Chains A and B, each alone.
Chain A
Amino acid sequence: MIQPIEPIQTATTKSRQTILDRLMAKEVESPGLPTPDPSKLTRFDDPLAKFSEILEGVGGQVHLIDDPRQVAEILGKTEVFSNAERIVSLVPEAVDNSFDISSIDDPHDLAAVDWTIARGEFFVAENGSIWIEGQSLPHRVLLFIAQYLAIVVSRREFVHHMHDAYARIEAPKSPFGVFVSGPSKTADIEQSLVLGAHGCRALQVFLTP
Chain B
Amino acid sequence: MTQVALPIVDRPAEKKIKLDHTNAARAFVTNPDRAPWHDESLWFVRSKRDKQASIIPEWEYLRSLASQVKTATIANLGDYLVEFERNATDAGAVVHWAADAKEHNRIVLGILRDHETTKIVKSKSMLTEECGLNHFLEDNGIDVVDTDLGERIVQLRHETPSHIVLPAIHLKKEEVGETFHEHLGTEKGAKDPKYLAEAARGHLRDKFLAGEVGITGVNFGIAETGGVVVCTNEGNADLGASLPRVHIACMGIEKLVPRLHDLGIFTRLLGRSATGQPITAYTSHFHGPRDENSELHIVLVDNGRSKLRQSDEFRAAMHCIRCGACMNTCPVYRRSGGHSYQATVPGPIGSVLSPTRDLKEHKSLPYACSLCGSCTDVCPVKIPLHHQLLAWRKEIGFMNLLSYDKRISMKAASILFRSAKLFSFAGWVGRKALKVLPHWVTHQRFNTWTIARELPKPPKESFRSWYAKNRNSETPKG
Mark A residues whose CB is within 8 Å of B. Answer: 1-8, 11-13, 15-16, 18-20, 22-26, 28-34, 36, 40-42, 54, 57-58, 107-108, 111, 124, 126-129, 134, 139-141, 143-145, 161-167, 169-172, 174-192, 194, 196-200
Contact = CB atoms under 8 A, between A and B. Distances in A.
B149 interface: yes
A15 B98 contact: yes
Contacts, number: 282
A37 B15 CA distance: 51
B283 interface: yes
Contact of B197 (A15, A163, A180, A186): A186
B58 A40 contact: yes
A186 B260 contact: no
A171 B45 CA distance: 35
Contacts of B347: none
Given A166-B263, A188-B148, A145 B239 contact: yes
B81 to A, nearest CB: 7
Contact of A11 (B106, B235, B259): B106
Given A29-B75, A30-B72, A33-B72, A144 B238 contact: yes
Given A163-B265, A181-B279, A175 B242 contact: no
A188 B97 contact: no
A11 B103 contact: yes
A139 B72 CA distance: 37
B138 to A, nearest CB: 15
Contacts of A11: 103, 106-107
Contacts of B77: 23
B268 A127 contact: yes
B478 interface: no
Given A20-B78, A181-B279, A199-B281, 12 more contacts: A3-B8, A15-B97, A19-B253, A30-B71, A33-B72, A111-B205, A170-B260, A172-B260, A178-B283, A187-B166, A192-B173, A196-B201
Interface in B94-123: 96-99, 103, 106-107, 110-111
Interface stretch (B26-34, B305-313, B334-342, B457-465): B305-313
B204 A178 contact: no
A143 B238 CA distance: 9
Q: How large is the interface on B (under 10, 10 to 19, 20 to 34, 35 or more residues)?
A: 35 or more
A154 B366 CA distance: 53
B267 A179 contact: yes
Nearest to A201: B201
A36 B234 contact: no
A1 B278 contact: no
Given A129-B283, A162-B268, A107 B243 contact: yes
A197 B197 contact: yes
B281 A20 contact: no
6 contacts: A34-B72, A129-B283, A166-B261, A176-B285, A192-B193, A194-B194
B451 interface: no
Given A33-B259, A197-B236, A189 B268 contact: no
Contacts of A3: 7-8, 10
A58 B201 contact: no
Contact of B169 (A16, A134, A169, A191): A191
B286 interface: yes
Contacts of B403: none
A6 B10 CA distance: 13
Given A34-B69, A58-B278, A189 B285 contact: no
Contacts of A36: 65, 264-265
A166 B268 CA distance: 12
B224 to A, nearest CB: 9
Residue among B56, B98, B225, B268 with the most chain A CB within 10 A?
B268
A24 B78 contact: yes
Contacts of B204: 198
A108 B279 contact: no
Contacts of A182: 281
Interface string B228-266: 000001111011001100000000010000111111110
B315 A28 contact: yes
Contacts of A198: 147, 201, 204-205, 208, 234-236, 239
A41 B58 contact: yes
Interface in B46-90: 56-58, 61, 65, 68-69, 71-72, 74-78, 81-82
B96 A8 contact: yes
Contacts of A58: 277-278, 281
B259 A185 contact: no
B127 interface: no
Most interface-central of A25, A127, A197 (chain B CB within 10 A):
A197
